[in-house]
Structure 1
Amino acid sequence: MFQQEKIGHGEAAVSHRRTGPVIERELSLRATLTGMLLGVLLTPSNVYAGLKIGWSFNMAIIALLIGFSFWQGMARRLWNGPEWTLHESNINQTVASAAASIISGGLVAPIPAYTLLTGNQLDPLPMMAWVFSVSFLGIWIAWYLRPSLINDSGLTFPEGMATLETLTHVYSHGAESARRLSVLFGAGLFSASVKAADTFIAAFPRWAPNAHWERLTFTFDPSLLLFGFGGIIGLRVGLSLLIGAALAWGGIAPWLLARHLVTLPADAAGPQFSLLVNWLLWPGVSLMACATLSSLSLRLLRQTKGNGASGNAGRAFRLPRPQPAPAIGLLLSIALVVTLQATLFGIDVVMALLTIPLALCLAAVAARVVGATGIPPIGAIGQLSQLSFGVVAPGQVAINLMSANTAGGAAGQCTDLMNDFKVGMLIGATPAKQVVAQCLGIAVGSIVGVLVYRALIPDPQAMLLSEQWPAPAAATWKAVAQTLALGLDSLSADIRLAILAGGIAGVLFGLLESALPSTRARLLPSPAALGLAFILPASVSLMMALGAIVTWLCGLRWPGLTERYAVTLAAGLVAGESMTGIGASIWQLARGGA
């Protein structure tokens, strides 16, 4: 029933394609090239945003709108080419979203954390190979999970259904997609212009109430990217960031200074983010990790009981009929991951082989959670795998980070493809062709993502965990690895107490969030956002909260317009500033080098 309701208003666009002997174009040259080009354009935005705020944006809907508007609109008017089919649109978004989701392969978390802790920076080609390999493994895990999870009536895959709704809607209301695309490009151009003016003409003032609050990072950040992300994340997460910033930077940080637990230079002026975050990240990471792990455990327990009661428990073990190509793909991905762990990071082959069953299990867990909630628990998967390797190989940073990266990267790509499989099943797409599209996407994303990361962060140890590049995901992985390697005894007593307090609060929030009905759970602060606010400058959290509040107010005043255009406009603000910011960073680095 849920699936039928989601498809309903676009049924006319789909039904005629399911009748008769007509076979649609699907994995066409133009569909794959369009997806690859959009992947090149959209991947940098996620790398930039991941290093800034630790979050990324699903680019599937943006790719759908751009591909449809070009091929079904402009191209047909110019040379009256063939119809851009529903299945070509699906291939286009599969390639583009796979490329943009490449940051789950480690680019903004374990890879920079590895450099921060060891001082070793991978060269571009080995880094591309590594990011591709863990993502490639996730694709084949998704292939073998597909028959069980996609057909499980208890897993609705909300993110995939949102993509399907947009896909069918643009074929029923072509003019609406053109208007949404105009909003996207208009917002992107405006955001890019503001960022260019701030960077190249005259820097906008970073206003603060006084010098004291400026040192605590309470400044005005004129970033439309942050404002746009606020519109995407919603009011609950936005207010949670606001509460977290007030608690961490407005409450704990002044207390740290008063007790001389953190000492600032006598002549300190401007935001003192780097010094304060070295203390604040510990309770923040503890809160996030414990909340996500406890929530994940309770959700899985409930799903297991529910599946057992409904007779679906056995589906998790039903594999597709043996086929040589997928088996070769899985074996090749395993060989690639194990070989690269040994050659790039000096990890023992036996230990590297142990990462494979853990990646299989945790990717399956992530896929089930995404199917039920739409939220990929990549952070929790990464921390859980870090804890696992902390027990198996204590004190070994490379194993803790890069072996855990295997599980996190595979889970990220697996969940992305599972959403695409859900869409494909409902429109009659060919799963094997979707796999090919996903492989093309991660190939493009690996190249572009690594080049952008290396261009933005040529010196991770000097540039990361700063006000310009907070890199909260990298800070989280670094903190967990450091604690597991050196032990809690290596930390001061005040930090150990902060970790304990954050962990207790995280467990309580995580359990309440999963145990309460959704209507009541929405009234709780988001524990992930609360913890994240400890690792981000207060200025970042304030701007994102402002975007969330303004979007909510617009929804009260103009509900129809907000529902149709808010996310599209916000995505344009994110893309415009991130692309300009990347160009500005590269230009400044080039000038410095010259």
Structure 2
Amino acid sequence: MMSLQSALLGFAIFKLPSVLPRFFPASRPLTPQENVVLQTTAVATGTMPLAAGLVGIIPALGMMTPEIDGREPIVLSYVHLVIWCLAVAFFGVFLAVPLRRQVIIKEKLVFPSGTATAQLIALLHRAPPIQGISAAAVTTPAGGRYERIRTSMDGDDEPDKDGDAISGAGWRALGWSFAASGTITVLSFMFPVTFALPIFDILSLPFGTSLAANWMWWFTPSLSYIGQGIIMGFPVTVSMNVGMFVGWAVLSPLAKKSGWAPGRVSSSTDGARGWILWVALAIMIAESVISLAPITVQYARGLWERREAAEARAHVFTTPDSPDEAAERDGYMDMPEDDEPENEPPERLVPGSWVSFGLMGSGVLGVWGVWYVFGSDGIHPWATALGLVLASVLALIGVRALGETDINPVSGIGKISQLLFAVLQPGNVVANVIAGGVAEAGAQQAGDLMQDLKTGHLLRASPRSQFYGQMIGSLASVFVSTAGYKFYTSVYTIPGPEFAVPSAGVWLNLARLLNNGHLPDHVVPFMIMFGGAFSLIAVAKIMLARSPNPTIAAAVSTLPSGIAFAIGFLNSPSFSLARLIGGYIAYRTARNTRTGETPLFAIVVASGFVLGEGVLSILNLTLASRGYKALSCFGCNLGGGGYCTGGC
């Protein structure tokens, strides 16, 4: 979500007038509440590429072939892509508003990332400690724990002498980490082998072969990958790399040498990459379903108990025929209300009429937009409407999962929708992919924006102001994301060596399977074996994670993450290796702190790494679009792939 990074950069930008008064006009300091709205808008903007499927279902539609799917690939124009994004841009925003009272005010779910962002903003602005969370353990999806955000960025626990929560050393670290990452990114364009170092082929140099590269083994020394590993934490990066080793060093050669995947290793259709993709899909679905089950049961039980309590109160109030019943009625009258009181005045809340009209309006826009873009060959209007209803129901479950575990199981939600629409519109791959995308979009937006609402609740930011930010960010991102996507696809082949978009293969292959397709040879036993194993692991986590026995709880925390393990299958080894370096850095820096947590200084450096590559990659894109080529292709014949093919 980049919530922490958005809040940090927003604070830094508004500090510029005091740091460089000659170049920037003086202005009043940014308040914590304004910073909340700033990062809310940023997250709403950044969510769109995921919610609109620009890294999933849109590339998947472009990967269809007449031989397999019976139709040409669907490549949307800029206008059609804008309409598609508009169709899914706002439903999740309106869906998040009514859920706020239930999961944040009443149930007080933690929403770890939102809580950690609130802690960071309070630290940056030297706001009073947030009641109730300063000592609460907050578990992130990366497996890291934020029991307390460190009070400085220069490695100690004492506030900085200059009165700022973050020292000059911290800001300098953000600057040099940004510059270092950006420099390496530009060098990767000039010398493509920089991002595809053939370190695993050194032993094959005397033989003139590139055996490792043929199996997609090279190393990408991306500081952005390392930064992501720091933020993700050591446990998840270990799970990812164990999955990478099993998938790419064991199962991939096994499938290729046994003739089960006769195509190129990198092929997602008949190659080893496509073969192990099915094993990853089995793992992801198994863990998602098992993880969703207890949350679904708990939510249904809560609804049933509230219904029974309401019926009991209604019965007592309407038929007090005896002294005993009258006393019972008085007891009910003395009981506290089931709902927690709202702590915001009405003028700071989003009116219910806005939500009602917004859900109806965004629903109509969604149905019309999807029909206009894909027409009668795609998904029927009634099916799109049903997909939005399904998104509403599944979003309730997804938001609860996110609030408790910091994991939004949108991948499982999308797959559930695909399974349903295989029955409703059989034989239609396009409809199956779109239906899953519509359901996932609503759950994705509702979950991400709920984290922001939790941040705002803790820092007393106006929910209505956050709603404005969410709407503005979503609308702006429709055009920004679409322009960015078309820009990238005009320069690079997607999917391709630079952008593999592995989730697109997951979407399309599952749709094909559900619509009269077939699985690759001999993959079913491996799907059952790995899916069953991670189902048992998920059950163990659910049953034993809160054990009072510290030994058992510690043992459960070491169990691998199924999603991270599967991601190691979906991406080439270079994706995981550099992140493991970052995870180890997080582990080592955490050991040097009294709390045992990753210090804020390391998080800030990691943010600089991520942002530096992200920003400077736009420069690379611009150079490539204008026809500039690499300065040297030295080493690319040995590297055999990766980013080398982009400029050579």
Could you tell me the TM-score, scaled by structure 1's length? Answer: 0.82
Letter of the aligned partner of 2:7 in structure 1? L
Aligned match of 2:294? 298
In 2, the alpha carbon distance for the partners of 1:528 and 1:468 equals 23
Moved over 6 A (4+): 306-322
Alignment partner, residue 552 of structure 1: 587
What amino acid is the match of 1:298? P
Residue among 173, 178, 193 paired with 1:188: 178
Instruction: For 2:438 and 2:396, locate their aligned partners in 1 and report how far apart those are by CA, in whole Å.
Output: 14
Cα pair 2:87 2:367 within 8 Å, conserved: no
Q: 1:177 to 1:473 in 2, by over 3 A?
A: farther
Cα deviations by residue, 1:284-321 (Å, 9 ceiling, x for unpaired): 11211221122122333245557877999988999999
Secondary structure of the corresponding residue to residue 219 of structure 1: coil
- The CA deviation at 1:428 is 2.7
Report the AA paired with residue 566 of structure 1: A
Summarize the Cα distance change of 1:528–1:424 in structure 2 as closer, same or farther, 3 Å threshold: same
1:353 pairs with one of 385, 409, 426: 385
Partner of 2:2: 59
Within 1, Cα distance between the matches of 2:507 and 2:445? 19
Secondary structure of 2:606's aligned partner: helix
Deviation at 1:141, TM superposition (A): 0.7
In the aligned structure 2, how far is the partner of 1:467 from the partner of 1:295? 33
Between 77-86 and 161-170, report the one with greater CA deviation.
77-86
Q: Following TM superposition, by how much is the alpha carbon of 1:82 offset from its aligned partner in structure 2, in angstroms?
A: 2.4
1:547 Cα offset (Å): 1.8
The alignment partner of 2:441 has SS state of helix
Structure 2 counterparts to residues 458-473 of structure 1, below 5 A? 458=490, 463-464=494-495, 466-473=496-503
- The aligned residue for residue 221 of structure 1 is 220
**Which aligned pairs between 1:365-444 and structure 2 lie closer than 5 A?**
365-444=397-476
1:102·1:135 contact (CA, 8 Å) conserved in 2?
yes
Residues 392-430 of structure 1 deviation map (CA, whole Å, 9 limit, x = unaligned): 222212221112211111111111221222222233322
CA distance 1:243–1:426, change in 2 (3 Å): closer
Partner-residue secondary structure (3-state), 2:499: coil
How far the C-alpha of 1:225 sits from its partner, in A, is 1.8
2:465 is the counterpart of 1:475: no
Q: 1:111 aligns with which of 58, 63, 67?
A: 58
Query: Secondary structure at 1:208's aligned position in 2?
Result: helix
Q: CA deviation at 1:90?
A: 1.4
Mapping 1:83-162, distance limit 5 Å: 83-105=29-51, 106-117=53-64, 119-162=73-116
**Equivalent residue number for residue 330 of structure 1:** 359
User: Normalising by structure 2, what TM-score?
Assistant: 0.75
Give how far 1:66 is off: 2.0
Amino acid at match of 1:174: D
Contact 2:31/2:125 (8 A) holds in 1: no
Point out the structure with max Rg over C-alpha.
2
Name structure 1 gaps, 5 residues minimum: 1-57, 266-270
CA distance in 1 between partners of 2:185 and 2:15 (Å):
32
Q: Match for residue 206 of structure 1? A: 198
- Asked if 1:497 corresponds to 2:522, the answer is no
Cα contact 2:93–2:470 (8 A) shared by 1:
yes
Structure 2 distance, partners of 1:555, 1:161, is: 20
**Measured at CA, do residues 492 and 273 of structure 1 come closer, stay the same or move farther in structure 2, by a change above 3 Å?**
closer
Offset at residue 582 of structure 1 (A): 3.5
Tell me the residue number matched to 2:156.
none
Distance in 1 between the 2:362 and 2:215 partners? 46
CA distance in 1, matches of 2:293, 2:118: 29
**Closer, same or farther in 2 for the Cα pair 1:313/1:563, shift >3 Å?**
farther
Q: Which residue of 1 aligns with 2:370?
A: 341
| Alignment match, 2:230 | 231
2-structure distance, mates of 1:391, 1:509: 31
1:71-117 deviation line (CA, Å, top 9, x unaligned) = 24525845332232222111111111111121221111112112212
- Asked whether the equivalents of residues 37 and 461 of structure 2 are also in contact (C-alpha less than 8 Å), the reply is no
Instruction: Compute the displacement of 1:590 (Å).
Output: 3.3
Matched, 1:486 2:516: yes
Contact 1:281 1:476 (C-alpha < 8 Å) held by counterparts: yes
- Residue range with higher mean Cα deviation, 204-213 or 274-283: 204-213
Distance in 2 (CA, whole Å) between partners of 1:207 and 1:312 is 65
State the distance in 2 between where 1:481 and 1:583 align.
36
Q: Against the structure 1 CA distance between its residues 329 and 88, is the aligned structure 2 distance closer, same or farther, given a 3 Å change threshold?
A: same
- The answer on whether the counterparts of 1:152 and 1:312 sit within 8 Å (CA) in structure 2 is no
Change beyond 3 A, Cα 1:328–1:310: closer
Per-residue deviation, 1:502: 3.6
Give the letter aligned to residue 496 of structure 1. Answer: V
Matched positions, count? 528
- SS at 2:200's partner residue? coil
Structure 1 residues 171 and 312 mapped into 2: Cα distance closer, same or farther (>3 Å)? farther
Q: Which residue of 2 aligns with 1:277?
A: 273
**2:61 is aligned with what amino acid?**
Y
Aligned partner (choices 156, 166, 169) of residue 123 of structure 2: 169
Name the amino acid aligned to 1:469.
F
Rounded to whole Å, the distance in 1 between the matches of 2:192 and 2:389 is: 54
Equivalent position amino acid for 1:485 in 2: N
2:601 to 561, 565, 570: 565
Are residues 155 and 388 of structure 1, via their aligned partners in 2, closer, same or farther at CA, if it must alter by over 3 Å?
same
* Deviations, residues 229-285 of structure 1 (Å, cap 9, x unaligned): 1112111111111111111111112222322223467xxxxx856632121111111
2:280 aligned partner, one-letter code: G
Deviation at 1:437, TM superposition (A): 0.8
Alpha-carbon separation, structure 1, partners of 2:124 and 2:583: 27
1:301–1:539 Cα change, 3 Å:
same
1:543 aligned to 2:578?
yes
Residue 287 of structure 1: SS of its match in structure 2?
helix
Whether 1:587 aligns to 2:615 is no
Deviates more, 1:556-565 or 1:426-435: 556-565
Distance 1:313 1:402, change over 3 A: farther
Residue number in structure 2 paired with 1:22: none
Between stretches 238-247 and 79-88, larger displacement belongs to 79-88
Q: Does the CA contact (< 8 Å) of 1:109 and 1:474 recur in 2?
A: yes
Quick one: structure 1 residues 568 and 313, their matched pair in 2 at CA, closer, same or farther if it must change by over 3 Å?
Answer: farther
User: Contact between 2:115 and 2:458, CA under 8 Å: does it hold in 1?
Assistant: no
Which letter does structure 1 place at the counterpart of 2:513? Answer: T
| 1:129 Cα offset (Å) | 2.9
Q: Residue type matched to 2:374 in 1?
A: F
Contact conserved, 1:362 with 1:381, CA < 8 A, in 2?
yes
- The amino acid across from 1:71 in the alignment is F
Q: What are structure 2's unaligned runs of at least 5 residues?
A: 65-71, 127-162, 205-209, 311-337, 343-348, 547-552, 630-648
**Is the contact between residue 3 and residue 117 of structure 2 (CA under 8 Å) also seen in structure 1?**
yes
CA distance change for structure 1 residues 570 and 83 in 2, over 3 Å: closer, same or farther?
Answer: closer
Structure 1 pair 352/309, CA: closer, same or farther in 2 (3 Å)?
closer
More helix by share: 1
Cα gap change, 1:85/1:161 in structure 2, threshold over 3 Å: closer, same or farther? Answer: same
Q: C-alpha separation between the residues in 1 aligned to 2:251 and 2:102? A: 48
**Matched residues in 2 for 1:362 and 1:323: separation?**
21
